[in-house]
Structure formats: structure tokens, C-alpha cells
Amino acid sequence: MAKTVDTYSTIEQFRTKYNELAVDVGDKSGLRTENTETVIDALNSLEDKSFFFQEFIYTSTAGQTVFQGVDDFNNTLRLRQDRFQVFKNSTLLLEGADYSISQVVGNIYFRITLTSAVNLMTWLSYSHSQVHT
């Protein structure tokens, strides 16, 4: 951003430039973060978070329907509702029709239950975007 007020500007010029900037940027209440006491706090809160794509891969046993805990690569299953997809052998499954999620703590789910059992050596992957602090 270019410098808009210099040491020779008047208070009125500063006020005008500040008001234009405030209108262009918007109010801090529009930020989707838990800390909105000041604009600096809100921006720091956003900066402290990282967004990533996580994949969980499970190899099933015959007749298995429940998937939870650590996967084949020692990653612990953690999902946020509406922020993940479930695949079985590369086929996208539908929540409610093909599986359900449960075992919730706060807004994190730790268990996926398929509506029908899988065959031996079927693998599932659960991919999701998660805010990680």
C-alpha cells in the first residue's frame, strides 16, 4: 500500500484518508476469527492458523464397518463436520446414505461408520481441510 499521509499532511487530510481506508477495508467484525478485540488481534489470530489437507488411509478386515483411531500411516482420525470427504476404493461415499460420523468432542469427530460392511483389503481415505492451531 502506498503511503497516503506524510509528515506535512494536515489533520483533516489524515482524517479523510483514514475514513477512505476504513470504508475500503471494512470493519473487523466481518473477520471470521475468535479474537476481534482489535484489528491487530484479529489478523494475528488468523496468521497463527495454518490450513492443510490431511488424508487418512485404512486397510479393512472382512466385514469391518467402523473406522477410527490411527490409520495405516499412524495418523489419528479427526474430522470436522462438513469439511471432509470419504472415499472407498476411490469412490466418493455420501454421508447419511453410505456412512455416518460419530464420537464427537467439541466440533471434532473421531469415528466413521459405514452402512454396509467392506470386503477384505478394501481401503478408505478420509480427506478434509482443517484449521490447525
Q: Concatenate the DSSP letters of all residues of the chain into one string.
A: ------TT--HHHHHHHHHHHHHHH--GGGS-SS--SSHHHHHHHHHT-EEEEEEEEEEPPTT--EEESB-TTSPBP-EETTSEEEEETTEEE-BTTTEEEEEEETTEEEEEEESSPPPTT-EEEEEEEEEE-
Q: What is the predicted pLDDT for the residue at 125?
A: 59
Contact 14, 7 (CB under 8 A): no
Place of cell 472407498: 88
- Give the pLDDT confidence score for residue 74 in this predicted structure: 93
Residue appearing with cell numbers 482524517: 15
Bridge partner list, 67: 112
Report whether 56 contacts 84 (CB < 8 A).
Answer: no
Please state the domain extents for the chain: 11-47, 50-132
Give me the pLDDT at residue 62, please. 82
Query: Residue 89 has what pLDDT?
Result: 79
Encode the chain (133 residues) as per-residue pLDDT tens digits: 556 666 777 888 877 877 777 776 666 666 667 777 777 777 777 666 655 677 888 888 888 899 999 988 898 998 887 778 888 877 888 899 999 999 988 888 999 999 988 776 556 656 554 333 2
Give me the pLDDT at residue 112, please. Answer: 92
